[in-house]
């Protein structure tokens, strides 16, 4: 065992927590400590809380110290461990994909609640980890899911995740700014495209800005709803009558995204807030 690292699981937890720098945010330090120890020791949170004894081999002590160091350099814990949780399931992540966000879990709930039909055809634009179509397929077996991403590296991760969860999803390597959606008769098109503006970029935390893929976060143009325009027009061509579109949005652009949906002849448009009370989703229905 490396010097100074305790082997009681509770003391070990306190050691990690007290060596992680989270600018005084105790809850964040604790959350990260649990994630690291659960992963490294293959224990449960309860094992730590109940202080069950653990054996920390020398090799793992070294790894633990490296993890703490990387956390303190600002790297997101999900990249360090190679997985991040979404809707209660671990997904493989690496620096080629955005780490799934809890807001997007609300998007899943919205889609499942508004579309009780068991045999829908769903297309996700800009899938990243694949967390949206994979979760929908797991929660509602019988759905036929498709997804695209412009990044071959992201698609590789999405395919690994689909395999891990044994769901069959058709993936396409397509840049939605250049090409259309390749399948027809869709019931649902969903997307969480890049929506952070250049102005907002400066205010982002370092863990996001320095480590997550910029192509998944930032709008590559002055037009804040660039992706929404392309996706709305291309979805309108592929959705069945009454088929629905669901977007995750930047809270500043609910009205613009809604207007764009009107221009593409969608109806029943609604802006929906996230649990923090911010405009976060827009949905519309294709007219007949």
Closer residue to ligand GLN, CB minimum distance, 101 or 156: 101
Binding segment toward ligand GLN, per CB under 6 A, in 20-28, 31-39, 186-194, 234-242:
186-194
Interface with ligand GLN (CB under 6 A), residue from 89, 101, 209, 240: 101
d(CA 193, CA 247): 8
Paired with 266 in beta bridges are 286
Interface with ligand GLN (CB under 6 A), residue from 192, 264, 266, 286: 192
Using Cβ positions, the residue closest to ligand GLN within the complex turns out to be 195
Rg (CA), the chain: 21
Quick one: 254 exposed, middle or buried, by C-beta within 10 A (0-12, 13-18, 19+)?
A: buried
Closer residue to ligand GLN, CB minimum distance, 15 or 253: 253
The DSSP symbol for 286 reads E
Binding segment toward ligand GLN, per CB under 6 A, in 60-68, 193-201, 229-237, 251-259:
193-201
177 touches ligand GLN by CB under 6 A? no
208 touches ligand GLN by CB under 6 A? yes
DSSP track, 30-71: HHHHHHHHHHHHT--HHHHHTT-B----HHHHHHHHHHHHHH
CB of 194 to ligand GLN, least distance (A): 5
SS3 236: helix
Q: Which residues are part of a known binding site for substrate?
A: 192-195
Residues forming the site for ligand GLN (CB under 6 A): 101, 103, 192-196, 208, 217
């Amino acid at each position: 065992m490396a010097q100074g690292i305790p082997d009681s699981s509770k003391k070990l937890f306190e050691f990690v927590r007290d060596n992680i720098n989270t600018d005084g945010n105790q809850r964040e330090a604790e959350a990260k400590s649990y994630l690291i120890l659960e992963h490294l020791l293959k224990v449960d949170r309860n094992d730590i809380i109940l202080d069950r004894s653990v054996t920390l081999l020398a090799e793992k002590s070294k790894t633990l110290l490296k993890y703490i160091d990387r956390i303190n350099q600002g790297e997101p814990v999900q990249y360090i461990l190679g997985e991040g949780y979404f809707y209660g399931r671990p997904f493989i992540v690496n620096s080629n994909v955005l780490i799934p966000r809890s807001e997007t879990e609300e998007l899943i709930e919205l889609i499942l609640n508004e579309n009780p039909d068991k045999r829908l055809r769903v297309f996700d634009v800009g899938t990243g980890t694949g967390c949206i179509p994979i979760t929908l397929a797991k929660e509602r077996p019988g759905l036929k899911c498709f997804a695209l991403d412009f990044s071959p590296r992201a698609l590789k991760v999405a395919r690994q995740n689909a395999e891990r969860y044994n769901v069959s999803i058709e993936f396409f390597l397509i840049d939605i700014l250049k090409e259309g959606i390749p399948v027809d008769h869709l019931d649902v098109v969903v997307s969480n495209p890049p929506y952070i503006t250049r102005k907002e970029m400066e205010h982002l935390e370092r863990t996001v800005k320095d480590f997550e893929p910029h192509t998944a976060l930032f709008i590559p143009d002055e037009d804040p709803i660039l992706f929404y325009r392309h996706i709305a027009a291309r979805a309108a061509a592929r959705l069945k009558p009454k088929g629905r579109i669901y977007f995750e949005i930047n809270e500043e652009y609910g009205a613009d995204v809604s207007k764009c949906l009107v221009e593409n002849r969608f109806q029943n448009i609604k802006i929906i807030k996230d649990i923090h009370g911010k405009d976060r989703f827009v949905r519309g229905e294709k007219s007949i």
